Amino acid sequence: MGGLTAALKLALNGLDVRVFERGHHPGGKLREQQVDGQSFYTGPTVLTMPWVFEEIFREAGANLGERVKLHQADVLARHAWSETERLDLFGDHERSAQAIAAFAGAKEADGFRRFAAHAKRVYAALDVPFIQSQQPTPVTIFARFGWNGLGELMRIKAVFTLWQALGSYFKDPRLRQLFGRYATYVGASPYHAPATLMLVADVESRGVHAVEGGIHRLPEALADLAAEKGVELTYGAGVAEILIEGGRARGVRLENGERIEADAVICNADAAALGAGLFGEQAKRAVPPIPPKNRSHSVVTWNLLARPAGFPMQYHNVFFPRDYADEFKAVFDDLRLPAHPTVYLCAQDRGDPSAPEPTERERMLIVVNAPSRGDSQVIPEEEIRRCGEQVTALLRHCGLTLAEREDIAVTTPMHFERAYPASGGAVFGRVNHGWWGSFDRPGAVTKIERLFTAGGSAHPGPGIPMASISGRLAADMVLKSL
């Protein structure tokens, strides 16, 4: 999404742009897999911040809504801890507050109202100086706020962990679990991720959308628009080397040996691959390598067909174990699959709120967190099987049984490492731990002249809108350099 967005913006500014994509479809991690004529999600399942894409399409003289149909969810997600402990969150914060009051009491609902107001404040404070800034640092953030704004930085709890900050709003450990899950949106632990991730609550309140026809329709529409504006897209074309001559990027050499000269190059691969030298020894110095200990977490996923019973599923469903701390200790410290993982289940056929409930077996994606050591650690099949049994047990504990189940595919950190080399299977790039973690991602500008980076492993971070913003930032710097 970063590369497509950058390509479109550059073409609109009159440049000749070529995109080389190793895969056979646009979208990168935003993709689906086809099995026996059915498509299954293998990456992101929803779209937030649609205004980012409305602006991208509008700048190109197109209308997002005419090319991609979005369905806004009424229920953001259904959360469960047992058969009798269920909580829905809504885009409308007051509806969520009322649901929390019924679930955990009036004081917790008041805590949520304060939390939601704080999340809005965090997003407003960081939107321009961080998210949309080229390469923010603590110095540039401080310069933006100045001495008078130092109090604002303290008020948004920038130096606290997410888990610490949540304790000032919620006493119920289940609610801390629920909102601590925001850390996993960037592949981090809530016990180490910065409290500024609370801004996710504000983003989600503005709309969580499913894409009609599948999430891959978005990159397809963006690729079509880029082609209309003159971008040349070549699929099945892996890049073997980024050519560096005279201290600057001069083009690329494809895996088939073809050399393509260029005035500037944007690398939309995982930054870890660039830093590991997979695009050539000379290009290696463009960004620092990412040590395994600094990787975000990976995941294990199950794509399956089943007929659900006993639990009124929504499009998004999250099932929580009791021991949340052990899950993240397992993933980040012990480097093993958690014994009792949190389970995310996307009921893929329920993305259109106006459609009737499916009557046949449904397509589902189940995701659990895993260590990102796919390049050095093979998770035994027996361990994957035991994890799957724990997933099934937790679902059953929460009232959900999956009848007539047929597992279509299981994806592990090793699979993600093969798809995104040098990542170890980390699907979110560098981990966002500690107050410095937010500033530790590569920016658009690298140490090599006219070589730029974009994508979810670059600033401002993972997620469909953020990766797309990174492409726009990279395009801006290309235009400035030329």
All domains in the chain, ordered by first residue:
1-91+207-482 (3.50.50.60), 92-205 (no CATH)
> Long-range contacts of range 98-101, CB-CB < 8 Å, 24 or more positions apart?
100/175
pLDDT range class, residue 147, cuts 50, 70, 90: low
Q: Between the CA of residue 66 and those of 160, 221, 351, what are the distances in Å?
A: 43, 10, 19
Looking at residue 42, what is its pLDDT? 83
> What pLDDT was estimated at residue 402?
97
The answer to which of 36-50, 60-74, 170-184, 224-238 has the lowest mean pLDDT is: 36-50
Least confident interval from 27-41, 83-97, 389-403: 27-41
pTM of the model: 0.94
Q: What is the pLDDT of residue 38?
A: 83
**β pairing state of 85-90 and 75-82:** antiparallel
Mean per-residue pLDDT of the chain: 93
Cα–Cα separations (whole angstroms), residue 346 to 205, 317, 363, 461: 19, 6, 9, 23
The dihedral through the CA atoms of 286, 287, 289, 292 has a sign that is negative
DSSP-derived secondary structure letter, 98: H
Please answer whether residues 338 and 369 qualify as being in contact, where contact means their C-beta atoms are separated by less than 8 angstroms.
yes
Q: 31's torsion region: left (phi>0), alpha (psi -120 to 50) or beta?
A: beta
Backbone φ, ψ for residue 443 (5° rounding): -90, -175
pLDDT band at 37 (very low <50, low <70, confident <90, very high): confident
Task: Name every residue whose Cβ is closer than 8 Å to that of residue 287 and which is 6 or more positions away in sequence.
Answer: 271, 274, 275, 442, 446, 447, 453
**C-beta atoms surrounding 159 within 10 Å:** 13
Q: What's the pLDDT band for 326 if we cut at 50, 70, 90?
A: very high
The DSSP output letter for 378 is: P
Q: Residue 446 carries which DSSP code?
A: -
Cα separation, 68 vs 411, whole angstroms:
28
pLDDT digits (tens, 9 = 90+) for 155-192: 555 668 999 999 999 999 999 999 999 999 999 999 99
- Average pLDDT on 288-298 reads 95
